[in-house]
Amino acid sequence: MAEFDDQINNDPHFWDDPQRSSQILKKKKELSDKIKKIHGIRTLGEDLKAALELASESQDFFNEAEALLIQLSTCLKDFEIELTLQGKFDNQDALLTINAGSGGTESCDWAAMLLRMYTRFCEQKGWSVELHDVQSGDEAGIKSVTLEVQGPFAFGLLKGEIGVHRLVRISPFDSNSRRHTSFASVFIAPVVDDTIEIHIAPNDLRVDTYRASGAGGQHVNRTDSAVRLTHLPTGIVTQCQSQRSQHQNKETAMKILRSKLYELQLEERKKEQKSTEASKAEIGFGSQIRSYVLHPYKMVKDHRTEHESRDPSSVLDGELNSFIYGFLEKQLRKT
């Protein structure tokens, strides 16, 4: 860390280049976070050793040792996974989009459940979540939602959630209490910062303003503060209505658009698809990456890794680590 501090303190022109200085400060924070985690793991190990030495003398020390072992195992697993995330954008913030699939109100409600699940997961990670745009369902739930997740390795950890998620349950909207299957898609993109050049010609952009449909008081309801951007060459549409200011909403919509355009560039370079939208599987039968079954039995199963949980309630409350880590470990074994 002293190297970075010397570079900042001894360079009178350090702040002259905001792009360069922001990259250095970001790298410094990454290293500082890793050092803190290493110190934390070492401290837990020392506490566990002390508790084990006294475990035979008291049940309280035995219980403490057991709790410390679980905590240490979790921290080691988290750190191990982070060390494997070496992709160019794995340590970027993430844009998470959820779209309801076929099934009407059922799927809109399922999309809302997924939003709650990911929000809870982010809270457990200590990440912040900013809602950029949400389209409510006609009767319940949401048709689509876009949110920005800000936290260490947000994109790297969440990228495995891309795909179709399937829910099987007794419908709360069916008066005959029949079993229904619902689908929703999840798409993740890295937040593209100012260090990545994405050229958007003014003539390629259509800007529309409209009244925000969500909560926000008189100002939001009476002015055309919401902004929708359409990138004409690709047909990509982004929008934001979360801010009171039309200018702020436009800035956020542009950030989302830049991220989606960069993701599109990656897709084209890899020659896997012709557009970002083509990377999203059809939201229906046979294309799901994970199934959440609440009836006639309870189970969550990832169809890519075969990992299962018999406690869907905890999974829907944000306990996703085992599924996310399982996917990342399988991807690592392929390389």
The predicted model gives 72-89 an average pLDDT of 87
Does pTM top 0.75 for this prediction?
no
* pLDDT, tens only, 175-218: 888 999 999 999 999 887 655 667 889 899 999 998 876 544 44
Joined tokens for residue 259: 């991220």
What pLDDT shows up at residue 277? 40
How far, in Å, CA of 102 to CA of 88, rounded? 35
Higher pLDDT, 309 or 263: 309
Of 4-13, 212-221, 258-267, which one has max mean pLDDT?
258-267
Angle between helices 2-10 and 18-54 (to 10 degrees): 150
* pLDDT of the residue at 87: 84
Residue 242 banded pLDDT, cuts 50, 70, 90: confident
How far lies 260's CA from each of 1, 257, 283, in Å?
A: 34, 5, 20
The answer to whether the beta carbons of residues 167 and 105 sit under 8 Å apart is no
Cis upstream peptide for 18 (omega within 30°) = no
Domains and CATH numbers, the chain: 2-84 (no CATH), 91-335 (3.30.70.1660)
Q: What gap in Å lies between CA 66 and CA 166, rounded to an integer?
A: 36
The values of phi and psi at residue 22, to 5°, are: -65, -35
> Each residue of 262-295: pLDDT tens digit?
878 767 765 433 333 444 445 655 579 999 999 9
SS (H, E, C) 255-315: HHHHHHHHHHHHHHHHCCCCCCHHHCCCCCCCCEEEEEECCCCCEEEECCCCCEECCHHHH
DSSP characters over 187-235: EEEEPP-TTS-----GGGEEEEEE---SS-HHHHHHS--EEEEEETTTT
Mean pLDDT of 100-124: 95
Sheet holding 205-210, edge to edge: 205-210, 226-231, 236-240
Within 8 A by CB and 6+ apart from 217, the residues are none
The string of DSSP letters for 33-64 reads HHHHHHHHHHHHHHHHHHHHHHTTT-HHHHHH
Tens digits of residue pLDDT in 48-70:
999 999 998 889 989 999 999 99
In the chain, pLDDT over 70 holds for what percent of residues? 86
Cβ pair 154, 87 in contact under 8 A: no
pLDDT at 216: 45
Task: Report how far apart, in Å, the C-alpha atoms of 297 and of each of 210, 264, 290, 305, 311 are.
Answer: 45, 40, 16, 20, 10
For residue 9, the model assigns a pLDDT of 67
pLDDT at 262: 81
Average pLDDT over residues 304-314: 97
Neighbours of 284 (CB within 10 A): 16
Q: Which residues contact 24 (CB under 8 A, 6 or more apart)?
A: 4, 7, 8, 14
Length of the chain: 335
Q: Which residues contact 331 (CB under 8 A, 6 or more apart)?
A: 160
Look at residue 114 and tell me whether its pLDDT is greater than 90: yes
Q: Lowest-confidence range among 36-40, 298-302, 328-332? A: 328-332
